[in-house]
Structure 1
């Protein structure tokens, strides 16, 4: 029979690379930040669903599909990035290393920029 605490310890050691247990406040703050990025990713995905549902009669299908796909890919990238960000910060906390630079903000900026540019372009030049 497998000893569950030992198995959990091995998984934790594999994922986090050992190190010392950080102050729980830092771990919980890291978790709250992760959850905030997940909420943002869900909001981007919900925007894709809303754009596809509400804009059916307003935007032509190719433009609408392009914006929806961009938003879905962006929301997916944010959620995956949030998991990697959480893991990187947790590892840094455990090893007393500097916190890693986040790649999530630039992803979010690009998704919003291209999505808004596509929508604005169609509003200004409806014949696109």
Structure 2
């Protein structure tokens, strides 16, 4: 495929192969990406809220651990969302089946670990 003159260098490099998919599918992929970003921002806000407002619930070092864990989950979700968007876009362009959403088990596992840590800290406190 020749390089599309309307596409920037980064886009041409990341999405070099295949044919342009139907814009509706690309836009749906972007909406899904934005939904994951909203989830990541919610985890970021939750981590900040724990650090700022949970002084009565958790002692200082535990509160920081919970806050950092929660913010880290948000970071992982945002990175996973970007990789998912790129992999889905490439699959659509190449006519391949859509990849398995690895971000979902990651989110489930990370959320479970965060909840387990909070439960342990509340019980020990």
Report the TM-score, using the length of structure 2 for normalisation.
0.89
1:51 matched residue in structure 2 = 50
Q: Report the Cα distance in structure 1 between the residues aligned to 2:61 and 2:113, rounded to whole angstroms.
A: 15
Aligned match of 2:16 = 17
Map residues 109-120 of structure 1 onto 2, 5 A cutoff. 109-120=108-119
- Deviation per CA, 1:21-75, whole angstroms, max 9, x where unpaired? 1111111110110000000000011000111111123211221111111111111
CA contact (8 A) 2:48 2:67 kept: yes
Equivalent residues in 2 for 1:53-92 (5 A)?
Answer: 53-92=52-91
Aligned to 2:30: 31
Q: 1:55 to 1:9 in 2, by over 3 A?
A: closer
| Paired positions, count | 122
SS of residue in 2 equivalent to 1:8 = coil
| TM-score (ref. length: structure 1) | 0.87
Q: Let me know the Cα RMSD of the aligned residues.
A: 1.6
Aligned equivalents of 1:23, 1:7: Cα separation in 2: 17
Q: Distance in 2 between matches of 1:68 and 1:7?
A: 43
Give the Å deviation of 1:111: 2.2
Give unpaired runs (5+ residues) of structure 2.
none
Contact 2:58 2:122 in 1 (8 A): no
Cα displacement (A) at 1:115: 1.5
Pairwise CA distance, 1:7: 7.0
Farther off after superposition, 48-57 or 106-115: 106-115
**After TM superposition, which residue ranges in structure 1, 4 or more long, deviate above 2 angstroms?**
5-13, 122-125
